[in-house]
Amino acid sequence: MSLEGKGYFIWRILNCESGDPEAIANKAEAAKLTHVLIKIADTRYPFGYDRNNNDLVPAVSQALKNRGMQVWGWHYVKGGDPSGEARVAVARTQELQFDGYVIDAEHEYKWRGKDAAARIFMTELRQGLPNHPIALCSYRFPTYHRELPWAAFLEKCDFNMPQVYWEQAHNPGPQLERSVGEFADTRLVGHARPVIPTGSAYGAGGWIATAEDQHQFYQKALELGLSAANTYSWDWSTSPGHHYLWDAVAAFQWPLEEAEALVQAPAPMPPSVSNDPLQNYIDALNNRDIELLVSLYHENAGHVNAQRLILGIQEIRKWYQKLLNELLPSGTFAIDQVRGNGSSWTFKWSFHNPGGQIATGKDTVGLRHGRIQYHYSSFADAPA
C-alpha cells in the first residue's frame, strides 16, 4: 500500500474537533486529505483513551475510512522495553485494522546500546505485521543525529517520514531538499526508503510556523517528485488563534484533479508493455532498451541511489545509459524476491554475465497510474 497526497498527524483526539468522529472526518474530507495518522501507543502502553478508559480511536478511524481515507497509527518508542513496545504496536495496529504503522523514535534512541533495542523491536514488529507498511518518523537531518540506529530501523521499514521541522526559521523548501538528499545516502542511514516528509504547523519557543511555510513545504514536496507529505499537528493548527495553519494546508491543491483525469483516461503505454510493471522493467533491462525503460517513468519521477538523488526523465535516461553500458553490461537480470501490492513494490534482483560478474540489489518503486513516480535503488558486488 502506498500513500499519495496530503496527510495530518493527530496527537490527542479530544484536542481535534472536541473528539467528534464525524466532525474530524468532515474536516479531513473538506481539506482533501488522503490519510490521517493517529497516535495509538506510547512506549509499551496503548494511547488514545479518554478519562473513562474509552478507546476514542476506532470511531474516528471508521469515520475517516468511510470517506475513503487511509488511517495509520503512530507510536512514540524509547527502547527501554523493545519487546513490550513491539507487542503493543502489533496489537493496536491489528485490532484497529489500520492501513499502516509509524515509529516515532527520538532522543531516547540516541543513548548508548540502543542499536540492539532497535533490532529487537524491529524484528518482533515485522514478525507481527508482516504485510503492513511501516514507516520511521524521526529527525530531519541524520548528519546531526548519527547516534540514532538508522540502519536498524530502516532495514525493515517501507517508508521514511522525517520530521522536517524548520523551527526558528521559515525555509521549509531548502530544509526538505536537504533532508531528502541526506536520506538517499546509505552511508549515513544504511537503507534508502521512499520519503514522505512531515512538516511543521505549530509553534515552539516563541516561534510559530506561517501559512506561507505550509505552501512552500508542500510545493517543494511536489517538485521533488514525492508521492505524499504530512503535517504535524492537527491539535495545534486548529487551536484558538492558529487555524490559519490548517487553512493553508487545506488550501494547497495536491494535483488530485490531474490524478483523477489520468485514472479515467490513462496515458497509453508502448505496445510492447504489459500490465505487469515489474516484468516490464526486468524485460527492458535484459533487452537493454533504454527508451522503453524511460517510458515506464513519469516525467518528474525521482531516482535515488547511494550517491545521489536525480529528478526527471533526462537524468534517469543518463543513469540507465551508464548502468547498462558501463556498470553492468552484457548480462542477465532476474527478480528473486518481491514484496508489495498495488502501487508500491520492493524487490530483490540479481545480475549475471558470461564473464562471471555477479551483482545483487534491492529496489523499491512507487507507481502512480501505472508509471514509476519514485525509485530507490541499491546494489552490491559491482561499482555503484
* Dist CA 10 CA 73 (whole Å): 9
How high is the pLDDT of residue 375?
A: 83
> 38 and 79 in contact (C-beta within 8 Å)?
no
Determine the length of the chain: 384
Quick one: pLDDT at residue 1?
Answer: 60
Q: Can 5-254 and 277-380 be said to share one CATH topology?
A: no
Q: How many CA atoms lie within 13 A of 36 on its CB side?
A: 31
Q: Which residues of the chain have pLDDT under 70?
A: 1, 256-275, 305-308, 340-343, 380-384
pLDDT of residue 2: 75
In CATH, 5-254 is 3.30.200.20: no
CATH number corresponding to 277-380? 3.10.450.50
CA atoms 127, 131, 136, 137: torsion sign? negative
pTM (2 d.p.): 0.74
Q: Where are the domains of the chain?
A: 5-254, 277-380
In 43-99, DSSP assigns E strands to 45-46, 70-77
pLDDT the model gives residue 61: 98
Give residue 342's pLDDT: 64
DSSP string, 223-268: HTT-SEEEEE-HHHHTSTT-HHHHHHHHH---SHHHHHHHHHSPPP
Residue 273: partners with Cβ closer than 8 Å, 6 or more residues away: 280, 292, 295, 296
CA distances from 324 to 280, 317, 320, 329, 338 (A): 16, 11, 6, 5, 22
Which ranges of 103-210 would DSSP assign to H, the alpha helix?
A: 114-128, 150-154, 172-183, 186-189
